[in-house]
Structure 1
Amino acid sequence: MSSKPINRTRLAGALLLAMLLPLAAQAQDEQTPATDDMADEAMLDPAGPAEPLDGSGTDVGEATAAAADPATLDAEMMPRASQSLLLGAVQTSAGYFVVGERGHILVSEDGQDWKQAPVPTRSTLTSITSADGVLWAGGHDGVIVHSTDGGQSWSRRRLQVWTPDYADPLDGVPVMDILMVDGMNGFAVGAYAMFLETTDGGVTWSPRGIINYDEPEPAAEAPAAAAEAPAADDWTFDASDLELEAESDPHLYAMTRTDEGHLVIAGERGAFFRSTDGGQTWERDRLPYEGSMFGILSFGGDHLLVHGLRGNVLESRDLGRSWTTVETGVGTSLMGGHALADGGAILVGANGVVLMRADADSPFTETRFEMANGETPNLTGVLPAGDAGFIVVGDKGAGLFRPQ
């Protein structure tokens, strides 16, 4: 990770993606930076420093931190938590789990009735995963919590809030996705190319550098030149004026593992990484689309599908070395997805959009998810729920989608 100071505008963008991802993606193009007001709304305002956890899972100086930052406080038990902003979902033998704002973690046996679990943080949780019966969830303020008893109780294993006198580039950086290879080994990714690794079941998380800053950024395909350069007093822009430069430390939004054990990561402005040795070394690449990709689906072999901003979907059969554009017919951002049998997939996004295909050779068809009151929520995640259909989560909470 670069040692340069955190840019509040870019970090605000990452936090807004985690908190109000669909609305942010719909309201502005990536060429429009967030304002300072947006940064203030997206970031917490901690009143004092908070130390990261030690190896035992006990806070260092927790008495001081607990009085200073909501990230260290227990999540409040809210009767309508299942109707609040939710950002991730996973299924285990203990049931369906969803996570979201204010440290909410909820569990359900049928995807309809939800019970909130006690969680030792009020930071927004962006992702949840499981392996070997253990659950992990991560989110804002670098928080990672886990449960070894089927989600009945949770312990906080990592916390690194932002403070005005921060000394570490990881201070305040949100976790965007967690991937566990097994019950002991896993990774977490987040803003500013944050890349964490655990080898002890998530008790401790160590930062690792995924980017070699001595190597040049892979070149992207140059945009077509404008037919005519604008006059000096012309307020129009040519293609070179509108070109987005790649970030040296891009936000990393999603990570997945193939059946062969290869690892891939997608992020902002076309960032893409692959590892063919279990995460020991990484190759940096660029997607043909220069916008952000928020999710990756892995099928058999080296078959991948990424989805993201403005309805863009790309598909690869060679672990991301080459890509084809998949027509979706929508211009709304796609925030969540799940791989189905035979290369099928379901993708969800803003304005209740749901895209489905039966197999790898079929096109996506569009439907809309509506709540009982007729609203079309902005969807951030989806999970198969057997005969009940699919659990969808978003800015209006959790619901059940039943394909026609």
Structure 2
Amino acid sequence: MCSYKNNILQLAFGVVLGLSQGITQASDYVDVLDLPAKPSALAVRSPLLDVANAGQRLVAVGQRGHILYSDDAGQQWQQASVPVSSDLSAVYFSSREQGWAVGNDGVVLHSSDAGVSWKKQLDGREIGDLLVKHYSALATAEPGNEHWPLRVAEGQRLVEEGADKPLLDVWFADDKLGYVVGVFNLILRTEDGGQSWTPFQDRTDNPQNFHLNAIASIGDALYIVGEQGLVLKWDDAHQRFAALTTPYQGSFFGVVGKPGEVVVYGLRGNVLRSTDGGSSWQPFDSGLQVSVTAAAIDAQGHYRLFTQAGHMLVDQSNNARLQLMPQQNPSPVAGAALASEGSLILVGSRGARALRKE
């Protein structure tokens, strides 16, 4: 009887201890949007998703709020001060000093010191309210327009869902005008460097709300690519992103280009090139069935495209076929940028590495 009682007491004590530990852990919980990224000597080897140029400096972003910068073409990296621990998906600098990074939880970060330190400008807890306020004002101004109440309802849904609104890419024309894009046609525009944001969901030809995976300017044109063959181009006359017709209906992950030419790339090795501003497209034969996930233009002006398996493809002077280049210890590539001395810096699941110029 005594033994049975002891067992019951031990069980009860264990339950109470477990509950108290759970309460303590719950009280210690901090949202990743309020938790600064932790310094880590292993950050440069942790998953990184994008890399960009800030003048001659390189800045890379990745998981757990890691932002790294290098002033020696990727040989050494330092970790930036970041106020969040959300995974970051993209980074862009409009000048040497001014840069923005975006990622999960609708987070938008800004740096005014070339990527050394960052401040949060926006997060997913605010985005739903932005939509409700913006489209409610339009609904009041145009009571007969049935489109605006639908947008208000969309904003209310985002409010109820909480902060989970991944932003996938960012682009700025200068230190003031810029866009962030993300899942389910999420797109916001700023004209004051990120101090305020305007929803632009009604300014895209994307009625099915496909994900917007990437945004980039090629010459004077601004493009967005996304799911189901979606390619949008900014139409200045109509002040909206107009849909372009493409021969591929799978997802595109990125866009790159040079004067007179734009290239989009995505699932199953599909790469398309247009020399007439997106009016027509020609296949760029990769010879692969693996998704192309990153691209850059090398010091010789050639496209270099990279896959989720670590392949590297190079264009051969307007040849319709891309050449597969041998790689030592290939690893998945999520982003690429040209360093000032001509090497390519690649980031992916194994962190950052330099691909020295040939």
Report if TM-score (shorter chain) is over 0.5: yes
State the Cα deviation string for residues 77-113 of structure 1 (Å, max 9, x = none).
1110000111111112361110000011000112111
Contact 1:388–1:400 at 8 Å: present in 2 too? no
Equivalent in the alignment of 1:120: 83
Matches within 5 A, 1:263-302: 263-277=222-236, 280-301=239-260
Q: Which runs of 5+ in 2 are unaligned?
A: 1-27, 129-156
Matches within 5 A, 1:54-65: none
Q: Which runs of 5+ in 1 are unaligned?
A: 1-65, 218-246
Given candidates 161, 185, 196, the residue that maps to 2:188 is: 196
SS in 2 for 1:167: helix
Displacement after TM superposition at 1:286 (Å): 3.7
For 1:267 and 1:323, the matched residues in 2 are separated by 16
Displacement after TM superposition at 1:403 (Å): 5.3
Given candidates 244, 248, 267, the residue that maps to 1:309 is: 267
Change in CA separation of 1:304 and 1:342 when aligned onto 2, cut-off 3 Å? farther
Given candidates 270, 289, 303, the residue that maps to 1:331 is: 289
For 1:145 and 1:350, the matched residues in 2 are separated by 26
Question: What is the aligned residue count?
Answer: 301
Bigger radius of gyration among the two: 2
Displacement after TM superposition at 1:283 (Å): 1.2
Displacement after TM superposition at 1:342 (Å): 7.8
Equivalent in the alignment of 2:123: 159
Matches within 5 A, 1:1-400: 68-93=30-55, 95-110=57-72, 111-132=74-95, 133-161=97-125, 167=159, 171-210=163-202, 248-260=208-220, 262-277=221-236, 280-301=239-260, 303-340=261-298, 344-361=302-319, 363-370=321-328, 374=329, 376-387=330-341, 389-400=343-354
Contact 2:204–2:241 at 8 Å: present in 1 too? no
Displacement after TM superposition at 1:210 (Å): 4.3
Contact 2:291–2:308 at 8 Å: present in 1 too? yes
For 1:265 and 1:154, the matched residues in 2 are separated by 26
Equivalent in the alignment of 1:222: none
Counterpart of 1:167, as a letter, is V
Contact 2:88–2:104 at 8 Å: present in 1 too? yes
Counterpart of 1:284, as a letter, is A
For 1:278 and 1:106, the matched residues in 2 are separated by 40
SS in 2 for 1:346: strand
Equivalent in the alignment of 2:152: none
For 2:77 and 2:35, the matched residues in 1 are separated by 22
CA-atom RMSD, angstroms? 2.6
Displacement after TM superposition at 1:193 (Å): 0.6
For 1:94 and 1:401, the matched residues in 2 are separated by 17
SS in 1 for 2:124: coil
Structure having the larger proportion of residues in helix: 2
State the Cα deviation string for residues 202-256 of structure 1 (Å, max 9, x = none).
222221124568xxx7xxxxxxxxxxxxxxxxxxxxxxxxxxxxx7000001111
Structure having the larger proportion of residues in strand: 2
* Aligned-residue identity in percent: 32
